[in-house]
Chain A
C-alpha cells in the first residue's frame, strides 16, 4: 500500500535534498510533484490541493530555506501534515457502561461489511466483550447465510432474519436477542447501498430511530479512488458516520482514500482490514501510515510481525551464530522460511527505512517468490554435511545439487558465492563489536551497500 507514493516522494526529495538550499521556485516544483504524487495515489484532488497548500505555507518559511537540509525539513513537514490529516490517537469503539453497545456497519456494495462484522466481533471479544451479530442485510442473496457461517466458525451468536421483517425490526429484535443471551456488544450488518440511493439511506435512518446506535461505522474499500470523498460525505450527511474501517489493505492499493476520509468528514479511521482471515483486523495507526507513505519505513509493524512469527530464543541463537561466523546453510534456510512467513519480500523490505529505494535500485534483479523457492530447493538438495560445511561443495557435488534442485550449475555457484560473502560481512561486523546502536547501524550500512544480486540469488 502507498508504494508508489513513497517512491515518488522519495524521488522528489532525493533531488531536492541533494541540492542543499532551496529557492522558492524549487519549493514550487517540489510542491507540484507532491500534489501529482498524491493524486496518483488516489488522494482526492481537493484534499491534495489543500494539503499541498498547507505544506507550501510552512515550507517557504525562513526556517526551511536557511536550514542546511531543506529537503529533510520538507519531508518532516509533509510527514507531520499527513499524521494530522490521518487523525490523532487510535479510538476504540464507544463501549457503553450500560450494555448493550450497538455498532452499525454501513457502506457500498462489496466494500467488505459482512466479513468486517465478524472481524470486529472478534476484536471486541479481545477487548473482553461478548458480541452478537445481527444479519440485517436482506438485499444481497445469501448475505445472512454468509454471516451465519462466519458466526458459527468463530462461536459468535448471529440473529438471523425471519424472512418477513424489515431491517429496522430485525435490528430491534437483535437487541432483544442480545439481552437474552447476555451479550454486551451488538454489531449490525446492513445491506450495501449507494450513497445516493435515497430509499436505502432512509432505511438506515429508520434503524437509528428504532435502536440507539452508539457507533455508525462506514466500511470503505482501500482501493477506492476519487469517489471516496463523495461516499464519505454523503453517508455522513444522510445517515451520520462516527468512524471508518478501511478494508483490503493487504493488497497494493496506495490507499489515498485513507487520507481523504478525515479531511472530508472529520471522522477517525478505527480499524484496517489486512487479510482474508477473520483475525486480520488491526487498529489504525496514523503515524505508521504516514511513515509508510513517506517511505520512512514501518519498523514497528515489521518488529511486531517478526515477533509473531519468530521464536525469541531461536532468533538470539541465530544472531550469535551469525556474528561468530558460524552461520550455516541450515540457519539460512530457517531464516528464509521465517522471512517468507512474514509476507511477500517486497512488503517486508518496504517497511525498512530505505527499503523502497533498495527495491527500486534492484529493479528486475529483485528476487521474486519463485527465486526464493528455488534457493530453498538448492539448499534442500544438499546433504546435512554439506549444509554445515559448504566448502566441501566442489564441482561434482555442485552438479548433483543442481540436478537435484532442478536448477543449473550457475545458480548453485551464485548461491554459494553469495552465502560466502554474507558470512564474511557478518564476521567483520561481529568482529568490530556489534553491540549497541552504532554497530548495528554499521551492519545495516554494509548490508545496504551490497548488490542484491550478490546475495546469492540465482537468476533465471
Chain B
C-alpha cells in the first residue's frame, strides 16, 4: 500500500487564506516589524542586518537559525548585487522556503491499522489535535479508534471521550491512573480484530526533562510493537506556536527517545509566528506535518510551507494570496514611504 495523503487540496487553500487573515490580526506582527526594517532602513548597512536578525529572533526562529539565514542572505545580496531592502527580503523569503520545502509532509497511512502516537509537553494540545484528526480521518471514510493513554491528568479521559463523541469515534480507555501501556495494548488488539484503519494514541503530557516519564513513553511504544511490529507508523510531537527556544530542546529530546516522524504545530491562531519550526526542521530534519488553529473540529490541516511564509510576510511583500495588511499599520515615520498595498489573488502561485 502506498502512502496516502488524507487531506484534500481545495479545502486547504481556503483554510490557509483564513489563517493568514487570522495571523494578520496581530497588533505587533512579524510583518509589521519587517516592514519597519524595509521602510526605515533604506540602505543595506550593518544596522539593517542587525535589525533583521532581531526581527527573525522576534518571530522565535532562534538565534543560530536567524544568524545562518542572515549570513546566507548577505552573501547572496553581495553576489547578486542587490541594492534595495525589498529585494533582500524577497531573497530572505526564498531562503526560508528552501529550509522548509523539500520534505515529505504527508501523514503516512501505510498499514491497517496505522498507529499514530501523539506526544508532547503538558498543555501543548495533544488531546484536541487527536479529536480534530479523528474527525478528519473519519470524514474521509477511514475507521478510526482512539487509545486514551493519558491516564495521569485528571479528567483527561473524559476530555478525550467528549472530543471523540463529536466525530463518533470509539475510544478505548481504562481507569484513571492505570497503565498507559495496557491501554495501548488493548486498543491495538481491538483494532486488529475489527480491521480498524487508524489508531490514534493520546499520551499524557510530560516535560522532556523528566527521565522516568520519557522512559514510560518508550515502554508504551514497545508495547505497541508487541502487537504490531512496525508500530508506531507516525510519532508526532505536538508543539504550541507560542513556545520559544525551548521547543528545540523538546524536539531534540523527544526525537532521541522515540524517533519522531513529524511535528504538529498548534495554536497558530494567536499572534505568534511559530518560527521555532524553522529551527527544528533545520536542526533535526523532522518535518512539520500538521498545523492546528482554533478550537473548531475543522481547525487542523497539513502544513504548507509556501502558504505559511506568504502569511508570515503578508503585508510586506506582495505575495499572491496574502490577505489585506495588518489591522494596525506601522506608525508612519516622517519621510517614510507608504507600505506597498498587497494585491489580492489566489493562495498559491
Contacts and interface: CB of A to CB of B under 8 A. Distances in A.
Interface of A: 4, 36, 39-42, 44-45, 49, 108-112, 139-143, 145-150, 153, 194-196, 221, 223-231, 234, 248, 250-254, 256-257, 276, 344, 369
B207 A108 contact: no
A252 B244 contact: no
A153 B6 CA distance: 42
A142 B63 contact: no
B77 interface: no
Contact of B244 (A196, A253, A344): A253
B161 to A, nearest CB: 8
A404 B120 CA distance: 37
A230 B269 contact: no
B122 A112 contact: yes
A41 to B, nearest CB: 7
B196 interface: no
A148 B276 CA distance: 36
6 contacts: A111-B123, A145-B159, A146-B158, A150-B154, A230-B271, A253-B249
B342 interface: no
Contacts of A150: 154
Given A39-B54, A194-B270, A252 B125 contact: no
A225 B295 contact: no
Contacts of A42: 60, 244-246
B272 A225 contact: yes
A423 B58 CA distance: 52
Contacts of A234: 27
B270 A196 contact: yes
B193 interface: no
Interface in B54-69: 54, 57-60, 62-63
B303 interface: no
A257 B244 contact: yes
A146 B207 CA distance: 20
B219 to A, nearest CB: 16
B267 interface: yes
Contacts of B245: 4, 40-42, 225, 254
A145 B295 CA distance: 19
B162 A344 contact: no
Interface residues of B, number: 48
B121 A251 contact: yes
B242 A225 contact: yes
A112 B123 contact: yes
B124 A251 contact: no
A108 B267 contact: yes
B201 to A, nearest CB: 18
Contact of A109 (B62, B123, B154): B123
B209 interface: yes
A224 B244 contact: yes
A248 B207 contact: yes
B28 interface: yes
Given A39-B63, A248-B122, A254-B246, A146 B159 contact: yes
Given A140-B159, A149-B155, A225 B60 contact: yes
Nearest to A46: B58
B60 A223 contact: no
B102 interface: no
Q: Would you list the 6 A-B pairs with minimal beta carbon distance, nearest first?
A: A225-B244, A110-B123, A141-B162, A42-B244, A146-B155, A142-B159
A234 B62 CA distance: 24
Interface string B46-80: 00000000100111101100000000000000000
Interface in B113-149: 121-125
B247 interface: yes
A253 B124 CA distance: 14
B208 interface: yes
A223 B154 contact: no
Contacts of A111: 123
Contact of B211 (A194, A257, A369): A369
B39 to A, nearest CB: 18
A256 B26 CA distance: 21
A438 B36 CA distance: 57
Nearest to A144: B155
B16 interface: no
B222 interface: no
Contacts of A251: 121, 207-209, 246
A226 B267 contact: no
B254 interface: no
A40 B26 CA distance: 23
A42 B60 CA distance: 8
Contacts of A45: 54, 57-58
A194 B264 CA distance: 19
A250 B154 contact: no
Given A108-B267, A226-B60, A252 B249 contact: yes
Contacts of A226: 57-60, 244, 272
Contact of B243 (A4, A224, A230, A231): A224
B163 interface: yes
B153 interface: yes
Contacts of B244: 42, 223-228, 253-254, 256-257
Contact of A142 (B158, B276, B295): B158
A25 to B, nearest CB: 15
B25 interface: yes
B213 to A, nearest CB: 9
Contacts of B121: 223, 248, 251
B240 interface: yes
A250 B209 contact: yes
A250 B207 contact: yes
